[in-house]
Amino acid sequence: MERGSCSPPPSGFCSVRHGLALILHLCNLSISTQQMNMSIALPVMVNNTALPSSPNASTERPPIDSQDNWNETLNKSKAVAAVYDWSPEIQGIILSSLNYGSFLAPIPSSYMAEVFGTRYLSGTCMFITSVLALFTPLAADTGVTVLIVLRVIQGIVQVALLTSQYSIWARWAPPQERSQLITIAIAGSVLGCFIIFLVGGYLCQTIGWPYVFYIFGGIGCVCSFLWFAVIYDDPVNHPFISTREKEYIVCSLAQEGSPPGWSLPTKAMIKSLPLWSILIFYFSDYWHFFVQTSYLPTFITSVLQANIRDSGILSALPFASACICLVPGGLLADFLLSRKILRLNTIRKLFTAIGVILPAVLFTSVFWVRSSFSTTIAFLTISSAIKSFAQSGALVNFMDIAPRYSALLRALSQIFSYLAGAISPTVNGFLISQDPELGWRNVFLLSAAVGVLGLIFYLIFGQAEVQDWAKCRHAPASEQTE
């Protein structure tokens, strides 16, 4: 069936596929808050408030002039919740334990999504990680080993959820709406970062740190129930979708082929420069992301001399700006494509370049404008807003080049993301420890350099056409791994 013969889509956002994007938005919001709640709660869970020795930790003792505010926060939280005598080394292990299984989960979860179906796998993972969040305070009371094991399991489950959900869009997202649907879903992760930064510290101070886990774990359980009620693996089996929308989606995806099952063109994928350009860009983009999540609160507290309470709010502003701009960026990309103003390949590379070059200039300039508090915060906020355009560029490009393998390619991209997460905080922590002042300059310059190098490789080798190895045909036996 020719794509041009497809009937026009239902108007507006009152469609089942946009409802799916909203549910995924809420689920990603919940997962994001569960990933970061320990970073917020840990400083008031322990007697020792010194910076954990692990470079992945983002909690630091505040400067002298804000120590009174910090002590006040600790005293109030201790009155309503238990505290523990965990050493800085143990604190570092607790914070990083969520990522211990991250490298193992992506590839198996992509295949499990094909075997068991995304609806059941992702919905079950959403429920399990939320229940584990509810049991986190009990695990902390039981012992630090139990807590670490719980977080390792929780991290594996979260990665399985974040990977397998992309199989949904291989069956639900028409090519001309792919950017907007995925950005609506992904915006939940950024909004979750904003919310946990904004209210996490307040919850710890007023009603106690356990409620950071109870509240956001409970929200996750509700999201899992919504998931099973609304999400189905494909539009053909959805009980509430209209015939018109179903035919439009099926018709739009007809030329992209069916899911691959267990057939995998391994050799062709290894030789695919467009695929490597996406994976390398994921590494470079998430290098910057982990600089923000790991060290932005520390920078605001130690360099800008903000107190602890204000630091949380100020750290949330860049995530708020990114969340606001994510969806409009996806809508703009789909508008340019649907009106045939630009080719898809041009759109992906243009949005990626915008999302790297301008933020790199602003992010690097932060060190030289740090004497102006308002200018520094403005640069960080605007940088994050513009950087969100890359989500409609290279970060969604794997859905273009191989929609049949979307879950698998998402798994590969996550491995490169977690690799950046393992290296970036370590390198940047070393730079800061060598020189507390010039170290920040080097952190910003290195982040910009890594981002620009990833952009250059993507601009040279990136493509937006479905690759030959990803098309629905029988590949030679020598190029398949059964």
In the prediction, which pLDDT does 2 show? 45
Q: Which residue has the higher pLDDT, 437 or 48?
A: 437
Both 200 and 120 in one domain: the answer is yes
Four-point Cα dihedral 93, 420, 191, 347, nearest 10: -170
Both 101 and 21 in one domain: the answer is yes
Both 388 and 239 in one domain: the answer is no
Both 89 and 181 in one domain: the answer is yes
Structure tokens at 278: 């996406």
Banded pLDDT at 65 (limits 50, 70, 90): very low
Q: What is the 3-state secondary structure (H, E, C) of the chain?
A: CCHHHCCCCCCCCCCHHHHHHHHHHHHHHHHHHHHHHHHHHHHHHECCCCCCCCCCCCCCCCCHHHHHHHHHHHHHHHCCCCCECCCHHHHHHHHHHHHCCCCCCHHHHHHHHHHHCHHHHHHHHHHHHHHHHHCHHHHHHHCHHHHHHHHHHHHHHHHHHHHHCHHHHHHHCCHHHHHHHHHHHHHHHHHHHHHHHHHHHHHHHHCCCHHHHHHHHHHHHHHHHHHHHHCCCCHHHCCCCCHHHHHHHHHHCHHHCCCCCCCCCHHHHHCCHHHHHHHHHHHHHHHHHHHHHHHHHHHHHHCCCCCHHHHHHHHHHHHHHHHHHHHHHHHHHHHHHHCCCCCHHHHHHHHHHHHHHHHHHHHHHCCCCCCCHHHHHHHHHHHHHHHHHHHHCHHHCHHHHCHHHHHHHHHHHHHHHHHHHHHHHHHHHHHHHHCCCHHHHHHHHHHHHHHHHHHHHHHHHCCCCCCHHHCCCCCCHHHCCC
Both 100 and 192 in one domain: the answer is yes
Is 24 among the domain residues?
A: yes
CA distance 197 to 316: 5
Both 20 and 156 in one domain: the answer is yes
Is 401 among the domain residues?
A: yes
Banded pLDDT at 459 (limits 50, 70, 90): very high
Question: What's the whole-number mean pLDDT along residues 32-57?
Answer: 66
Closest-CA residue to 52 (of 66, 35, 63, 39) = 39
Boundary (domain end) residue, out of 255, 286, 301: 255
**Cα 409 from chain centroid?**
15
CATH number at residue 207: 1.20.1250.20
Query: Percentage of residues in the chain with pLDDT exceeding 70?
Result: 84
Is 241 among the domain residues?
A: yes
Q: Domain range spanning residue 215? A: 16-47+83-255
Both 102 and 147 in one domain: the answer is yes
Banded pLDDT at 476 (limits 50, 70, 90): very low
What is the domain count for the chain?
2
Boundary (domain end) residue, out of 190, 220, 255: 255
In the prediction, which pLDDT does 146 show? 94
pLDDT 10s digits, 112-169: 777 777 888 888 999 999 999 999 999 999 999 999 999 989 988 988 888 777 778 8
Both 312 and 181 in one domain: the answer is no
In whole numbers, what is the pLDDT of the chain averaged over residues? 80
Is 36 among the domain residues?
A: yes
Does residue 122 contact residue 165 with C-beta atoms inside 8 Å?
A: yes
Both 248 and 280 in one domain: the answer is no
Residue pointed to by tokens 């508090």: 373
Closest-CA residue to 41 (of 304, 312, 245, 396) = 312
- Average the pLDDT over each of 191-195, 254-258, 336-340 and give the range with the smallest value: 254-258
Both 171 and 271 in one domain: the answer is no
Both 276 and 247 in one domain: the answer is no
Is 212 among the domain residues?
A: yes
In the prediction, which pLDDT does 77 show? 46
**Cα 202 from chain centroid?**
24
403 Cβ contact list (under 8 Å, min separation 6): 170, 253, 256, 257, 466, 470
pLDDT 10s digits, 175-223: 778 778 888 888 888 888 888 888 887 888 788 889 999 999 999 999 9
Both 36 and 184 in one domain: the answer is yes
Q: Which residue has the higher pLDDT, 445 or 308?
A: 445
Q: Is it the case that residue 442 has pLDDT exceeding 50? A: yes
Is 198 among the domain residues?
A: yes
pLDDT 10s digits, 414-434: 888 878 877 787 787 778 778
Is 477 among the domain residues?
A: no
CA distance 167 to 171: 7
- Average the pLDDT over each of 8-17, 285-294, 379-388, 393-402 and give the range with the smallest value: 8-17
Boundary (domain end) residue, out of 224, 255, 286: 255
Is 482 among the domain residues?
A: no
